């Protein structure tokens, strides 16, 4: 076995395959065998580990760009709903 074969073997799967499995890996959705191959690949592949870190950074940025902590419910709308709630429960 030459050096390239040994490298491919250590990587377990190709980068192209690992990239398609990134979200499943983050979600803990990979089967036992796929999860081991993914872990082996990430241990040996700096570029895919970097990509995974960037994906995590992306998720964090989307989260941080996310919804405001507070938001007003229009009081008039709320009162009309309360009225409907009252009349429906009375029936």
Residue from 1, 6, 16, 44 touching other proteins (CB under 8 A): that is 16
The DSSP annotation for 41-72 comes to HHHH-HHHHHHHHHHHHHHHHHHHTS--S--P
Residue 17, exposed/middle/buried by CB under 10 A (0-12, 13-18, 19+)? Answer: middle
Residue from 1, 4, 31, 33 touching other proteins (CB under 8 A): that is 4
The CA distance from 91 to 86, in Å, is 9
Say whether residue 33 binds other proteins (CB under 8 A). no
Say whether residue 51 binds other proteins (CB under 8 A). yes
Say whether residue 14 binds other proteins (CB under 8 A). yes
Residues in contact with other proteins by the rule CB under 8 A: 4, 7-8, 11, 14-17, 19-20, 22-24, 27, 29, 45-48, 50-51, 54-55, 57-74, 77-78, 80-82, 84-86, 88-90
């Amino acid at each position: 076995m030459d050096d390239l074969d040994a490298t491919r073997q250590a990587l377990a799967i190709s980068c192209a395959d690992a990239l398609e499995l990134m979200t499943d890996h983050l979600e803990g959705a990979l089967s036992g065998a796929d999860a081991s191959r993914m872990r082996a690949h990430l241990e040996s592949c700096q570029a895919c580990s970097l990509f995974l870190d960037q994906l995590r950074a992306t998720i964090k940025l989307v989260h941080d760009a996310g919804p405001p902590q507070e938001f007003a419910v229009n009081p008039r709308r709320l009162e009309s709903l309360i009225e409907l709630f009252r009349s429906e429960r009375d029936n």
